Structure 1
Amino acid sequence: MKLIFFAFILLSCNAYDDRQAYIIHMDVSVMPAPFSGSESWHMSILTSLSSSTGKAPAMHLYSYKHVMQGFSAVLTSAQLEQIKQVSGHVATYPDSYGQLLTTHTPKFLGLKKESGLWPASNYGDGMIIGIIDTGIWPESKSFKDEGMPPVPKRWKGRCETGTAFNSSLCNRKLIGARSFSKGRKQLHLNISNTDDYNSPRDFSGHGTHTSSTAAGSPVSDVSYYGYAPGIATGMAQKAHIAMYKTIFAGDTKKTAGADVLAGMDQAIEDGVDLMSLSLGLVPAPYYSDIIALGAFAALEKGIFVSCAAGNSGPNAYSIINEAPWLTSVGAGTVDRDFVATVTLGNSTKTIRGLSIYPKSLFVSNVSLYYGLGNTSKESCDSFSLDTKEVAGKIVLCNPMSDIYSQLDEMSRVAAKGAIFITDQGEHLFPEDYSKPFVAVSLSKGKMIKNYIARAADLATVSIRFRETDLGSKPAPQVAFFSSRGPSLISPGILKPDILAPGFNVLAAWVPNRGFYVDNDSLTTDYALISGTSMASPHVIGIAALIKSAHRDWSPAAIRSAMMTTADITDNTGSPIIDMNSRATGSPLDYGAGHINPNKAMDPGLVYDITVQDYIDFLCGLNYTSLQIGMITKRSNYRCTRANLDLNYPSFMVILNNTNTMTQTFKRVLTNVESSSSSYQAAVRTSKGMKVVVKPQTLIFDGLNSTQEFTVRVDIDLSKSTRKQSEYLGNYGYLSWYEIGGKHVVTSPIVSAFAPPQKKNAI
C-alpha cells in the first residue's frame, strides 16, 4: 500500500562528526547597529564561533525574514553551547527531518461553467497559489498558459535555473519555481540526476500532481491508461502557480525542516495569496512546529494556508497540522469506481468487480480454476498452487488477510489472472494492480463458486478491464487512511477542519516515473493517486476561488465559509460513513463535513478570527512569554483575554476522565451580506447532550455587522444511546437559519475524551 504523503519524523542527533542542523530563534531588537540586515548579523555570529580541533566551522543555511526571527545553521555540540550565550539568543531547536510518506472531482464538487463559484470568481483570476512540495514538471499540458491573465504586478518571485530546468520554462500559469536543499545537503545527502533534479523540476510526481489539482489548466482527452477519461482541470484554473521545492527523492528520501521553512519564508516574500502543504510534522507544541510557525507568519500577511491532515487513519488522535490558524484537510472518496466486467461461461449475466489493471486486456473464455475442498488452495496461500494445474488459467481465491501474497502466488504459478474474493477491494490502490485481477465482494464470490460447482472442469470466464463507473453510491466516504481527531496539541479545537476529495484523484504526473505492471514500466502523463496530500490542493484551489470573489475576506473567514456550508450527508441523503468501518462517521473523522464550493461562496455569516484572537489563544495554552514570542515574532505582544475559546466554526467539549461535563462557549458571527438579516438558532443533538443557545435570534444591520451569542453544552454520557468509543462521546449540530432567506450556517458540537499523554510531542 502506497499513499503519496509526506510525514516528517524527528530523528536523533546525527553522528556526522558531531554536527547537526539547528533552527535558532533570535531577538532582532538587540541586533547591533553596524549590521545592515539580520543575515549579516547571523553570519557574523557564526564566524565568531570557535571550532574544536578537526571540526568544520559552523555553516549557515538560511536566514528567515517572515516565518520567524532567526536562522538555521549546522553546528557542533560545542558551537551550540557557545551560540546559546550570544546576546539576542532566544531558543534553539534541532532541525526536523522527514521522509516520503482531475477529470471528475470538479463535477463531483458541483463546479459548473454556467453558474456558481467558477464564473463568480472568474476561475480564480488574479490569485497566486504557493505550493510547498517536490517540484513541478513544467512541460505538462496542465501548466500551459493559453487564456491565462497577465502575471500580477505585485508578484516578486522568480524562476530559477538548475538541473534540467530553465527560467524560460515559466509562463503566465507557472510564474515562479524555486528549490531549497541546503538543509538536505548538510546531511551529506547530495542530489544526483539519478535520484532527483537539483532544481525545481519534479522527480517523484507528487508536486506536479498537487499543483495541477489546485490550479491546473483544462486539458482534454486525458486518462489513467483508459480509466477516468475526460477533461482534467484544476479547481482554480485561472490562478497562477508558484512552486517551492523543498522535498527531494533519493535512496534515503530525507528532507530537512529548515528547507521547508525557507520555502514558506520565500513564498511569503514573493507575494503568494494562498499556500498549500501536503506534508507535516510529528505533533509538537506550536512554538517548535515548523509548519505552524510558517503558517502564523502567513496568516499575518492575509495568506490562507491549507495542509494535509495526515494518512494515519483510522486511528484516533492521529491528526497532524493542528494549529487553528491553518486549515487541516481530511481525504474523502468520490462517486467514481474503476471496474472490470466478469462473464461466467456462456452466460449473458455479468458480475462487476473492482480493478484498475492498466493494460488493454480482454480475457475471453479462459479456464477458471478453484482449489475446491483444499483450504490452502482455495485461499491461494503461498506455495499452495501447482503450476501444472493453474498456468494460463484465471484463479479464484478466497479472502486472505494479505492480498499481496496471493498476487505473488499467482505470479509464481504463471496464472493468467485472478479473481480475489475480498471485502477490502476498495482499500486497494492503482499501483497494487501489477497483475490482471478483479476484486469482487463476498456475495459475488459466492455466485462464482456456485457456477464452478455446476460447471466443474468446464468452468470458463471472460473479463473486460478498463471500465469507469460514475455515480457510485455512497459518496463521499471518509477514506480509511485519513487521519482522525481529536487533536493532541490543542484538543479543544476540532480537527480535521473539513473533508475534500483525496481518493484516486486523477491529475498531472511526471513522464519519467512509471508504474510497474507485469514487470514492465508503464509511463503516463496523468495518474490516479490517493492521500490527504490530494485533498489539501482541492481546498487551496477552492479557497483561491472564494478569495478571488471576496478579496477582503480573511483566511479565517474563508475557512469559516467552507466549514459552515459543508455537507454532512452523502449522495444517498444519509450521514457520511467511514470507509473503514462502514459505520456512520463523526466530526472527528470529517470535521465540519465535505466541502461544498458553491455554498461556501455565499455563506451569509462567518466566524472571523483576528491575529490578536490567536495570541489570546496561545496565552490560554499557558505558553511562556518566550514561546509566544517565538510564534508571533513579537516581544511586546499582550494578552487581552487569555482563553482557549477561540471564535472557531465548531464546538469541542473535552471530557477529562468523566462522563459528564458542562461547558459554555462565546462566539461572534459577522454578516457578509450587504443587506440586513435575521437568523434563528436550531440544534440537533443525540441523547446525553443538551445544548442551550442564547439569544435564539440574531439580527444583523448590514455588511460586516456582528452579533454575539453563547452556547452552553451539557454532556451526560450515561443517558446516551449511542455506542461509546474510546475517544468519541457524542455530537450534534448548531445551525443558524436565515429568517425569510436561504442561508444556513452550521457548526458541529462534539464531545470527546481527553487524548492520551502527548507521547509524540516534542
Structure 2
Amino acid sequence: MTGFAARLTPREVEALSTMDWFLHAYPSRVYRLQTTHTPEFLGLRLPSHGMWNESNMGEGIIIGLLDTGVTPGHPSYDDHGMPPPPAKWKGRCDLNASACNNKLIGARSFISYDGRKRRSASTPVDEDGHGTHTSSTAAGAFVKRANVNGFAPGVAAGMAPRAHIAAYKVCHEDSCMGHDMLAALDAAVDDGVDVISFSIAADPIAQGTFNAISKGVFISCSAGNEGPDPGLVNNDAPWLLTVGASTTDRVFLASVKLGNGRKLDGESLHRPLSFKPKMLPLVYPGFVTATIINHGTAMHRPHSPDVASFSSRGPSQITPGILKPDIIGPGVNILAGWNSQAFALLSGTSMSCPHLSGIAALIKKAHPGWSPAAIKSAIMTTASVTDNTGGPILDEQHRPADLFAVGAGHVNARQAIDPGLVYDLTPEDYVPYLCGLGYNDSAVSALTRKPVRCSSLKSISQGELNYPSISVTLQANSWKSVSYTRTVTNVGKPTSIYAVKVDMPKGVSASVTPTTLSFEKVNQKKSFSISFRRSGGRSGRVGGQLRWVSRKHVVRSPISIRLK
C-alpha cells in the first residue's frame, strides 16, 4: 500500500506523524474542471501522408480519462470495426453490460460518498457532459452529420478514433477531490492504460502522475483557464505535458449592423429560426437602431491559430526554471460529444488537453518503444511558431505571443511523428532535479515511491534537466556565462548530420559546442553544451531558440531568458 485517504482532525494527523512508517499527509482539496474540424486543422486526415495513415488511428492504444464519466450509448463510443482491447487490459466496466464495448472498454467511479453527494455520483454515468466531451475529443468514433443547432456540420471524430477509451469518474457537479483523483490515477496505471488525459487544474497530482510515467504512461494535462494574467499555469511538473489553448481557423460569424450603416463583426452560436434581421432600437443609446446578421460557419480564418485569452500563462510559480506551458492546441469552440444532447461546442484548456492526449496515442502507436519523455519531446521540438499567414502566433491583443503563452508553440501533428531527435528522460533522471529543488529525503521518497537520500546524489538545477525547452537566468552586473548540457537521441535515419543554429535576442550571446552532431545508428545519443552570456544592460524576459537542422528535420527548442 502506497497511501490511503482518511477523515482526520489536525491532532490525529499530528499523532500519525510520529509513526515510523509515516512520510507525508496531504490535505484533500477540491479542484475544478477546465472547461470537428480539428482533425483536418491538425493535418491528421491527409490521404497520402496524414498522421492517421502512419499510426492506424491509434488502434490498440488505451486512453484513460479522469473526468466526469461517460454517456452510455453515445454515438462517439460506437465500436464498429474496433478490435478487442489488448491482453494487458486489466480494467472493468461498472455500467450495464451492453454499455461498454470494444471502444468504451472501461468505466469506473472513484467518487467517495460522504453524505453530501448524491448516490448517482457513484456510477460512471456523466451527469455533467464534460467527460463525454473530452473522451470523444481524444478518441471518439466517426459520427456523421454532427452539428450544434446547425453550426459546425460535418463528420465528428476524435484525434485517435481507433484507440480504446477507459473512463475514471473523479468529478461530480464541478467538484473534484484530490484523494479521488490519486486513487483513479493508480487504478488507471494498474489497469494498463497507455495515455492519461487530465482536464482538471490540480497541482498536487504530481505524486500520482510520477508513478504513472514511471510505468511508461504518458500524461497530458490542462494548463488552466486563468489567463491572460502571468504566472497562473497549473499542472506544471516537468514529467507532465502541460497544454494551453488556441483557436482554430473556423469561426461562427455574426455582425451587428447599426442604423448608420456601420458593421461590427463578431461571433454567435445563437440563431433562432424566428429571428428576422429587422432594425430594432438599442436600449443604450436609445437614438440608434441596429440588427444582428448571422453569416454561419466560416473556414480558413486568417491569423490562426492564436492563443486563447483564457489560456493560463507561465512562468511556473513552483519550477520557474522549466518553461510552462509546454505546448498549445485547439481549445476554442470545439465540437464533441455531450450528455444532454448529441454534441456541444465548448472552449477551455479542458478541450485542448484531450487533443494532445489523442495525438500522443497516435505517436505511441507508431513508436511503441518510446518513453513518455520521448513522446513529449517529439511534440515540443516539432511545434509550429507561425500562424496560417506565416506570421508569429498572436495573443488575445493581436500581438506576438510570448513563450509563457505558447511554450514550444502550436502542436504540429504531422511533424511530431517523425521528429528526428528527442530529448529523452528516465524516471530516475528527475530525482537529482527534485533534490535540487530543496525537497527533503522523505518528500522525494514519497513522490518517487522509492527510498531516496539526496545527500548521496549530485543534485542538479532546474535548467540542467534534459528538457526539450531551455530556461536561463542571467544576473545583473555579471558577464559570467551560464552553461547547460543537453543530450539528444537519434530516432530518425540511422546516418544523419545535424548543424546547430542559435537565435538570440539583443543583449544576450550564446555558443554551442560542438556545432555539428553526426549519427551512425538509430537510438545513438550525443551531448552538447550551450553557454549564455550577457552582452548588454537591459532587463526583463526575452526569448530565443536553438535549432538542430539536418536535410530532413528541424529540431527546435525555445529558450526563455530572464535578465535580472
Classify the TM-score, shorter chain.
over 0.9
Match of 2:45 among 112, 116, 141: 112
Q: CA deviation at 1:93?
A: 2.2
Q: Is the 8 A contact 2:422 2:490 kept in 1?
A: yes
Q: CA deviation at 1:361?
A: 4.5
Residue 746 of structure 1 pairs with residue 556 of structure 2 = yes
**Structure 2 counterparts to residues 344-359 of structure 1, below 5 A:** 352-359=265-272
Among residues 403, 408, 426, which one is paired with 1:592 in the alignment?
408
Q: Secondary structure at the match of 2:213?
A: helix
Matched residue, 1:179: 109
Change (3 A) 1:480 1:353: closer
Instruction: Please state how far the C-alpha of 1:636 moved relative to its aligned partner.
Output: 4.8
- Measured in 2, the distance between the counterparts of 1:609 and 1:355 equals 45
Match of 1:525 among 307, 325, 342: 342
Distance 1:353 1:89, change over 3 A: closer
Q: Which residue in the other structure is 1:496 paired with?
A: 325
1:159 and 2:93 equivalent?
A: yes
Which one-letter code corresponds to 1:620 in the other structure? G
> Per-residue displacement from partner, 1:626-677 (whole Å, max 9, x unpaired)?
1110111111566653102100011101356779774211000100024211
- Three-state SS of the structure 1 residue aligned to 2:400 is coil
Candidates 331, 335, 346, aligned match of 2:245: 331
What is the match of residue 159 of structure 2? 235
1:280 and 2:201 equivalent?
yes
CA distance, structure 2, for counterparts of residue 306 and residue 598 of structure 1: 18
* Whole-angstrom distance in 2 between the partners of 1:693 and 1:591: 22
- Are residues 1:309 and 2:309 paired? no
Q: Deviations over 1:227-259 (max 9, x none)?
A: 11111000000000000000001xxx4332110
Listed as ranges, the gaps of 5+ residues in structure 1 are 1-37, 39-68, 284-288, 372-376, 379-384, 397-418, 420-437, 439-462, 512-523, 755-762
Answering whether residue 474 of structure 2 is matched by residue 474 of structure 1, we say no
Q: Does 1:508 align with 2:337?
A: yes
Contact 1:179/1:200 (<8 A) preserved: yes
Structure 2 distance, partners of 1:712, 1:680, is 17
Distance 2:321 2:360 in 1: 25
SS, match of residue 466 in structure 2: coil
Are residue 137 (structure 1) and residue 50 (structure 2) matched? no
Q: Following TM superposition, by how much is the alpha carbon of 1:341 offset from its aligned partner in structure 2, in angstroms?
A: 5.6
Distance in 2 between residues matched to 1:687 and 1:509, nearest whole Å: 50
Rounded to whole Å, the distance in 2 between the matches of 1:363 and 1:71 is 61
Question: Which amino acid is the alignment partner of residue 665 of structure 1?
Answer: Y
Relative to structure 1, the CA distance from residue 198 to residue 109 in structure 2 (aligned partners, 3 Å threshold; closer, same or farther) is: same
Q: Please, which of 367, 375, 381 is the counterpart of residue 279 of structure 2?
A: 367
| In structure 2, distance between residues paired with 1:395 and 1:136 | 46
Q: 1:294 to 1:622 in 2, by over 3 A?
A: same
Give the drift of 1:343. Answer: 6.9
- Residues 712-738 of structure 1, C-alpha deviations (whole Å, 9 max, x = no match): 12245635xxxx7xxx51111111111
CA gap of 1:107–1:661, structure 2 versus 1, over 3 A, is farther
Q: Which amino acid aligns with 2:43?
A: G
- 1:659 and 1:312 map into 2 onto residues whose CA distance is 36
Whether the 8 Å contact between 1:618 and 1:628 is mirrored in structure 2 is yes
Is the CA contact (8 Å cut-off) linking 1:659 and 1:718 kept in structure 2?
A: no
Q: Compute the displacement of 1:466 (Å).
A: 6.1
* Partner in structure 2 of residue 401 of structure 1: none
SS at match of 2:276: strand
The answer as to 2:264 corresponding to 1:340 is no
- Give the secondary structure class of the aligned counterpart of 2:171: coil
2:547 is equivalent to residue 735 of structure 1: yes
* Percent identity (aligned): 45
Alignment of 1:715-730 (within 5 A): 715-716=534-535, 718=537, 729-730=541-542
CA separation in 2, counterparts of 1:633 and 1:689? 41
- In the superposition, relative to structure 1, how do residues 487 and 210 fare at CA in structure 2: closer, same or farther (>3 Å)? same
Secondary structure at 2:159's aligned position in 1?
A: coil
Larger mean Cα displacement after TM superposition, 337-346 or 685-694: 337-346
Q: Label 1:669 to 1:640 Cα distance change in 2 as closer, same or farther (>3 A).
A: farther
Instruction: Please give the per-residue CA displacement for 1:366-405, whole angstroms capped at 9, x wherever unaligned.
Output: 234357xxxxx32xxxxxx6xxx9xxxx954xxxxxxxxx
The structure having more radius of gyration, on CA atoms, is 1
Q: Judge conservation of contact 2:23–2:443 (CA < 8 Å) in 1.
A: no
Counterpart residue number, 1:615: 431
> In structure 2, what is the Cα distance between the partners aligned to 1:72 and 1:313?
33
| Cα distance in 2 between the residues matched to 1:506 and 1:671 | 37
Within 2, Cα distance between the matches of 1:612 and 1:146?
42
**Equivalent residue in structure 1 for 2:146, among 215, 222, 244:** 222
SS across alignment from 2:236: coil
Tell me how far 1:152 sits from its aligned partner.
Answer: 0.9
Match 1:260 to one of 181, 201, 215: 181
Aligned equivalents of 1:320, 1:695: Cα separation in 2 = 36
**1:438-466 per-position Cα deviation (integer Å, ceiling 9, x unaligned):** 5xxxxxxxxxxxxxxxxxxxxxxxx3x36
CA contact (8 A) 1:135 1:208 kept: yes
Cα pair 1:200 1:244 within 8 Å, conserved:
yes
Say whether the 8 Å CA contact 1:227–1:466 is kept in structure 2.
no
Q: What residue in structure 1 maps to residue 440 of structure 2?
A: 624
| Aligned equivalent of 2:132 | 208
8 A Cα contact 1:307 1:536, kept in partner: yes
What's the CA shift for 1:531?
A: 0.5
CA distance in 1 between partners of 2:335 and 2:78 (Å): 18
* Map of 1:20 onto structure 2: none
Find the residue that maps to 1:641 and give its secondary structure.
Answer: coil
CA contact (8 A) 1:681 1:734 kept: yes
Q: Which runs of 5+ in 2 are unaligned?
A: none
**Change in CA separation of 1:673 and 1:510 when aligned onto 2, cut-off 3 Å:** same
- Give me the whole-angstrom Cα distance separating, in 2, the residues matched to 1:621 and 1:232: 44
Distance apart, 1:132 and its partner CA:
0.3
Pairwise CA RMSD: 2.3
Number of aligned residue pairs: 559
Give the Cα–Cα distance (whole angstroms) in 1 for the partners of residues 332 and 168 of structure 2: 24
Judged with a 3 Å threshold, the aligned counterparts in structure 2 of structure 1 residues 716 and 223 are, in CA distance, closer, same or farther, namely farther
Q: Which TM-score applies when normalising by structure 1?
A: 0.70
Q: Is the 2:258–2:289 Cα contact (8 Å) retained in structure 1?
A: no
Please, which of 147, 166, 183 is the counterpart of residue 81 of structure 2? 147
Counterpart of 2:269, as a letter, is I
Q: Secondary structure at the match of 1:176?
A: strand
CA contact (8 A) 2:31 2:200 kept: no
Give the whole-Å Cα distance in 2 for the aligned partners of 1:91 and 1:368: 64
Q: Which amino acid aligns with 1:747?
A: S
State the Cα deviation string for residues 67-118 of structure 1 (Å, max 9, x = none): xx221111234433332233312222222222455x1111111112522311
TM-score by length of 2: 0.94
After superposition, the Cα gap between the structure-2 partners of 1:657 and 1:353, relative to the gap in structure 1 and judged at 3 Å, is: same
Asked whether the equivalents of residues 40 and 46 of structure 2 are also in contact (C-alpha less than 8 Å), the reply is: no
1:320/1:660 Cα in 2 relative to 1: closer, same or farther (>3 Å)? farther
SS class of match (1:613): helix
Q: What SS does the aligned partner of 1:71 have? A: coil
- In structure 2, the residue matched to 1:689 is 508
Is the 8 Å Cα contact of residues 482 and 532 (structure 1) preserved in structure 2?
yes
SS in 1 for 2:428: helix
How far off is 1:136 after superposition?
0.7
- Identify which of 5, 8, 16 aligns with 1:83: 16
Partners of 1:140 and 1:752 lie apart in 2 by: 49
The code of the aligned residue for 1:648 comes to Y
Distance apart, 1:131 and its partner CA? 0.2
Residue 120 of structure 1 aligns to a residue in which SS?
helix
Query: C-alpha distance in 2, partners of 1:351/1:264?
Result: 48
**Which whole-Å CA distance do the structure 1 matches of 2:231 and 2:263 have between them?**
43
**AA in 2 matched with 1:328:** T
Q: Is the 8 A contact 1:205 1:509 kept in 2?
A: yes
The residue aligned with 2:368 is 551
